Amino acid sequence: MLVALLGFSSWAQAFDLQQLSDQLAKPEVIHGSFIQEKHLRALPQPLTSTGTFVLARDHGLLWLLKTPLQQDYRIDTQGIARRDGSSWQRLPGKSAGAEQNRLFLAVLQGDSSGLQRDFELSLTGDPQHWKLTLIPRSMLLKQVFNQINIDGGELVQRIELLETQGDSTVLRMQDSTRHQPLSDAEQHDFAK
Strand 29-39 and strand 168-177: the pairing is antiparallel
Q: Per the domain annotation, does 5 fall within a domain?
A: no
Q: What is the DSSP string of the chain?
A: -HHHHHHHHHHTPPP-HHHHHHHHH--SEEEEEEEEEEE-TT-SS-EEEEEEEEEETTTEEEEEEEESS-EEEEEETTEEEEEETTEEEEPPTTSHHHHHHHHHHHHHHT-HHHHHHHEEEEEEEETTEEEEEEEE-SHHHHHHEEEEEEEESSSEEEEEEEETTS-EEEEEEEEEESS-PPPHHHHHHHH-
What is the pLDDT, as a whole number, of residue 9? 36
Please state the rounded mean pLDDT for residues 33-50. Answer: 94
Give the residue numbers spanning the domain of 114: 16-191
CB 120 within 8 A of CB 135: yes
Please state the rounded mean pLDDT for residues 47-68. Answer: 93
Q: Per the domain annotation, does 11 fall within a domain?
A: no
Q: How does pLDDT run across 128-137, given as a tens digit for each residue?
A: 999 999 999 9
Answer whether residue 114 shows pLDDT above 80: no
**Where does the pLDDT of residue 96 fall: very low under 50, low under 70, confident under 90, or very high at 90 and above?**
low
Answer whether residue 57 shows pLDDT above 90: no
Please state the rounded mean pLDDT for residues 162-171. Answer: 94
Q: Per the domain annotation, does 72 fall within a domain?
A: yes
Answer whether residue 117 shows pLDDT above 90: no
What is the pLDDT, as a whole number, of residue 1? 39
Mean per-residue pLDDT of the chain: 85
Please state the rounded mean pLDDT for residues 45-50. Answer: 95
Q: How does pLDDT run across 79-95, given as a tens digit for each residue?
A: 888 999 889 998 876 65
Q: Per the domain annotation, does 166 fall within a domain?
A: yes
Q: In what order do the strands lie in the sheet with 145-152?
A: 87-90, 79-84, 71-76, 60-67, 47-56, 29-39, 168-177, 156-163, 145-152, 129-136, 119-126
Answer whether residue 127 shows pLDDT above 90: yes
Q: Per the domain annotation, does 4 fall within a domain?
A: no
Answer whether residue 6 shows pLDDT above 50: no
Return the CATH number at 141: 2.50.20.10
Report the domain count for the chain.
Answer: 1
What is the pLDDT, as a whole number, of residue 3? 36
Q: Per the domain annotation, does 129 fall within a domain?
A: yes
Q: Per the domain annotation, does 95 fall within a domain?
A: yes
